[in-house]
Amino acid sequence: MKFPRALFINALIGITALMLAATGCTPAANPNTQPTFVTSTLENPQTPPSATTTVTPATTAVTTIPATTTPAVKELILSSTTSVRDSGLMDVLIPMFESETGYKVKPIYNGSGAAIALGQAGQADVLVVHSPAAELTFVAGGYGINRTFFAHNDYIVVGPSKDPAGIKGMTSTVAAFKKIAAAGSLFYSRGDASGTDTKEKSIWTTAAITQKGQSWYVEANTGMGDLLRIASEKGGYTLTDRSTYIAQKSTLSLDIMVENDFPTLINTYHVIQVNPGAFPGIKLNAEGGRAFVRFMVSPEAQRVIADFGVDKYGQPLFYADAGKSEAFYGTK
Amino acid sequence: MTYIINGIVQAFWMIVHGDRQVLQIVLLSLGVSGAATALSLLCGIPIGVALGLNKFPGRRFLVSLINTGMGAPPVVVGLVVLLFIWRNGPLGFFHILYTPTAMILAQFIIAMPLVSGFTMAGIQQLDPKLRLQIRALGASRLQMVWILLLEARLPLLAAVMAGFGAVISEVGASMMVGGNINGQTRVMTTAIVGEASKGSFDIAIALSIILMILVYLVNLLLTFIQQRSKNQ
């Protein structure tokens, strides 16, 4: 008994030492190096939750952050929708933000529903999402502040080229959905409470069709990229954001069926700071969250967003919208 | 068909040229899984030896726990670790969520029961008379355990193989506690899932090929040692 116990204790000491060494590398908070921002019209994170901050005029919020300041807390958790990753946009924007501000971003990608849920649990500092109704609920509940409109693109209905429901070229998405239901053609749904899923469900509601439970309606509970592949393999219709479709078009056998039906098919992206005051006991990175919101509407980021994908796909994947109101596109 | 061929061609191009992104992912995978396996050896071998050599009340219960742990689904381990280390979790103050440390912790929990279980089995299958003989020759208890471990080196190699093989190819826990963050916590398995769902099959295929080669090399090395010592 003597020997194994000694070895066991040694092992425990060794592991503890390793753990301490590993955790010692995490950035320590240094109260003396608070970043100083010149001006800001963004809501102060310490103010109590308010539901009136749905759209912040972004152009005036833009400030240049000196690259030399070191943030007090470096780690910034970004809970984001998958579409900005799958298209590759975030891989460009995040390094820009990091080198400009010194923050270290940890992006976690889920559908907008799950992305907002992570914020609602106080496990993220800032969100990038595209599910307006869920966002407004989140902000109204006091969980989010500085909700800022920064970009849009659009949804399209895609389907197999043989088009069994005969919807190709229709101008009304609602009418097209009605036709798919009448024909009983296969339709694949995200089924994951993401922004796209929420949009799709709202179109079924407008069309006054109970799609759930129908034999032709399949909920896959998966990301957009995976769902496009499923729809492509199974020869079904689906609703997708245009950017994910363009980025993967070459590996899919899906054609565009319905497009440019506005405002139904508008897809708006917002950046929202998680309210640091809403989670007693959890320390959020308030400065970092605010800096990220400001960054997303800065001229540099907006230029990247507007140009993104043009060289690779011959068309932009996103349209930069800093300073605009969503009402500009006929939605709220 | 063309994208399969393109994918494979691209994959070999990336491997031959040492694509920086691919290289970084491979190195991180080896680092995380290597550290987790090393820790699980440090902890698992003593536990395995203790359970293999001693009889005490509750031993069977502990063995049943280890056997269950050997089959624990990585996603479940990932979820439990996640709940412990996220911001308001009991270990949240360490701030290790979405870091390689968190992945090492999760993979350690996955590998540890495997190492303990294999060590215990290895020690138990030794001839009980060997212990008597060693003691009769005047060895201290410490010396006896050392000789037994040397005798059981082949099962111990199997323990290393099983532990490393399990964690290097594990995806669920790494995805949950690591987050598949580019340049920080992206390892081969999570990258394969992520890239395939993005439609970037070239990177996914390249990483799959590297992963298979790595697993093969590790097993080849261990098999080589195993066969050599058998032939002696």
Residue type, A117: A
Indicate the SS3 state at residue A146: strand
At A161-218, the pLDDT tens digits run 999 999 999 999 999 999 999 999 999 999 888 999 999 999 999 999 999 999 999 9
Confidence at A302, pLDDT banded by 50, 70, 90: very high
Q: What is the pLDDT of residue B219?
A: 81
Residues of B in contact with A252 (CB under 8 A): 199
A11-20, A70-79, A218-227, B6-15: lowest mean pLDDT where? A11-20
A19-23, B4-8, B9-13: lowest mean pLDDT where? A19-23
How many C-beta atoms surround the C-beta of residue B226 within 10 A? 16
pLDDT at B145 > cutoff 70 = yes
* Summary mean pLDDT of chain B: 90
Quick check: A23 and B39 CB within 8 A?
A: no
User: How far is the alpha carbon of A3 from chain B, nearest alpha carbon, in Å?
Assistant: 5
User: How far is the alpha carbon of A182 from chain B, nearest alpha carbon, in Å?
Assistant: 31
A6-10, A156-160, A296-300, B7-11: lowest mean pLDDT where? A6-10
Complex ipTM more than 0.85, yes or no: no
pLDDT at A301 > cutoff 60 = yes
User: How far is the alpha carbon of A286 from chain B, nearest alpha carbon, in Å?
Assistant: 14
Residues of A in contact with B53 (CB under 8 A): 4
The better pLDDT of the pair A275, B221 is held by A275
Residues of A in contact with B142 (CB under 8 A): 2-3, 6
The closest CB to that of A75, out of B95, B198, B201, belongs to: B95
Q: What is the pLDDT of residue A11?
A: 44
The closest CB to that of B39, out of A15, A26, A85, belongs to: A15
Residues of A in contact with B39 (CB under 8 A): 15, 18
Give the dihedral sign, CA A293/A298/A300/A303.
positive
Quick check: A86 and B46 CB within 8 A?
A: no
Q: Is A163 on the interface with B (CB under 8 A)?
A: no
Residues of B in contact with A276 (CB under 8 A): none
Confidence at A69, pLDDT banded by 50, 70, 90: low
Confidence at A60, pLDDT banded by 50, 70, 90: very low
A128-132, B108-112, B216-220: lowest mean pLDDT where? B216-220
The better pLDDT of the pair B75, B12 is held by B75
The closest CB to that of A248, out of B39, B105, B199, belongs to: B199
pLDDT at A17 > cutoff 60 = no
Most confident of A92-101, A213-222, A316-325: A92-101
CA dist., res. A143 & res. A275, Å (int): 5
pLDDT at B147 > cutoff 70 = yes
Nearest to B155 by CA among B126, B191, B130, B113: B126
Q: Which helix (H) or strand (E) holds B3?
A: helix B2-17
pLDDT at B24 > cutoff 60 = yes
Confidence at A330, pLDDT banded by 50, 70, 90: low
Residues of A in contact with B181 (CB under 8 A): 106-108
Quick check: B179 and A108 CB within 8 A?
A: yes
What share of chain B has pLDDT > 70, as a percent? 98
> How are beta strands A104-110 and A126-129 bridged, if at all?
unpaired
pLDDT at B218 > cutoff 90 = no
**Radius of gyration over every alpha carbon of chain B, rounded to an integer in angstroms:** 21
Confidence at A36, pLDDT banded by 50, 70, 90: very low
Which of B43, B87, B96, B107 to mutate to probe the A interface, most A CBs <10 Å? B87
pLDDT at B14 > cutoff 70 = yes
Taking CA–CA distances from A279, the nearest residue in chain B reads B88
* Summary mean pLDDT of chain A: 82
Which of A1, A2, A3 to mutate to probe the B interface, most B CBs <10 Å? A3
Which of A9, A92, A222, A251 to mutate to probe the B interface, most B CBs <10 Å? A251
Give the dihedral sign, CA A301/A304/A305/A306.
positive
B119-123, B137-141, B215-219: lowest mean pLDDT where? B215-219
Q: What is the pLDDT of residue B195?
A: 86
**Domain architecture of chain A: domains with CATH:** 47-151+267-322 (3.40.190.10), 154-258 (3.40.190.10)
| Residue A149 near residue A182 (C-beta atoms within 8 A) | no
User: How far is the alpha carbon of A25 from chain B, nearest alpha carbon, in Å?
Assistant: 10
Average pLDDT over residues A256-277: 96
CATH homologous superfamily of B30-179 equals: MetI-like (1.10.3720.10)
User: How far is the alpha carbon of A4 from chain B, nearest alpha carbon, in Å?
Assistant: 6
A51-65, A100-114, B49-63, B194-208: lowest mean pLDDT where? A51-65
Q: What is the pLDDT of residue A13?
A: 45
Confidence at A20, pLDDT banded by 50, 70, 90: very low
Q: What is the pLDDT of residue B11?
A: 82
pLDDT at A62 > cutoff 90 = no
pLDDT at A100 > cutoff 90 = yes
Token pair, residue A261, equals 């039906």
In degrees and rounded to multiples of 5, residue A312 shows phi and psi of -90, -40
Average pLDDT over residues B97-106: 95
Q: What is the pLDDT of residue A44?
A: 59
Confidence at B232, pLDDT banded by 50, 70, 90: low
Cβ neighbours for A39, distance < 8 A, ≥ 6 positions apart: A63
Q: Is A332 on the interface with B (CB under 8 A)?
A: no
Confidence at A43, pLDDT banded by 50, 70, 90: low
Q: What is the pLDDT of residue B203?
A: 83
The better pLDDT of the pair B230, A98 is held by A98
At B152-183, the pLDDT tens digits run 988 898 899 889 999 999 999 999 999 888 88
User: How far is the alpha carbon of A244 from chain B, nearest alpha carbon, in Å?
Assistant: 8
pLDDT at A57 > cutoff 60 = no
Quick check: A282 and B87 CB within 8 A?
A: yes
Residues of A in contact with B201 (CB under 8 A): 251
Residue with tokens 């030399």: A68
The closest CB to that of B42, out of A15, A19, A75, belongs to: A15
pLDDT at A153 > cutoff 90 = yes
Q: Which helix (H) or strand (E) holds A266?
A: strand A266-274
Q: Report DSSP state, residue A311.
A: H
- In a 13 Å sphere around the CA of A197, the CA atoms on its Cβ side amount to 24
Residues of B in contact with A14 (CB under 8 A): 42
